[in-house]
Amino acid sequence: MFIKVQLPWNVIIPAQNMDVKGLMLQKSIIQRLMEDFSAKKTTKDLGYLLAVTTLDEIGEGRVRQQTGDVMYPVTFSCLTFKIFRGEVLDGTVHKVLRHGVFLRCGPIETIFLSAQKMPGYQHVPGDNPMFISEKQMKIEKDVVVRFCVIGTKWVEADKEFQAVVGLEGDFLGPI
């Protein structure tokens, strides 16, 4: 789920941001690292990039001949979020369909819980569609559901993960 990793990165500082004082340079490096980090969003190997925790090392800068900008190799630690097969997580229902529901869990928006993977639940259509069990437990919009991850898929075009989940197991379902 949450992973702490250390990453190498190249930070490019424009020539106009260069200053004799080291504090301004370090501030520029941190700001540019944060901008680049937030623009990256996610990777297939690490999952969703959530937060930089520490800036561990700033290497020696090298001037780029074409632009005059300076490239600094940096090493930093960060938190990432990635789901794995067999993991039990909680998600919030954001869309109810006849064939199942879509959930959100952390930064992941497309988690599908099929009606076939909800044993004992029946679909109830209407203005507020839902799935209801024999024990009168409801799965409807904005309900938090505990589920088990059956499989995940990386979608390169969207730079995001999708998952298929189920309620087959102990202590799974609406919370």
Residue ranges per domain, the chain? 2-81, 88-174
The low-confidence residues of the chain, meaning pLDDT below 70, are 17-23
Model-wide pTM > 0.75 = yes
Query: According to the model, what pLDDT value does residue 15 have?
Result: 74
Architecture of the domain defined by 2-81:
2-Layer Sandwich (3.30)
Which of these, 102, 125, 92, 114, lies nearest to 167 by C-alpha position?
A: 114
Beta bridge partners of 131: 123, 139
Q: CA–CA separation, 145 vs 102, rounded Å?
A: 11
Rounded to the nearest integer, the mean pLDDT of the chain is 92
Would you give the DSSP letter of residue 121? Answer: E
**CATH 2.40.50.140 correct for 88-174:** yes
Query: According to the model, what pLDDT value does residue 67 have?
Result: 83
Q: Is 39 helix (H, G, I), strand (E, B) or coil?
A: helix
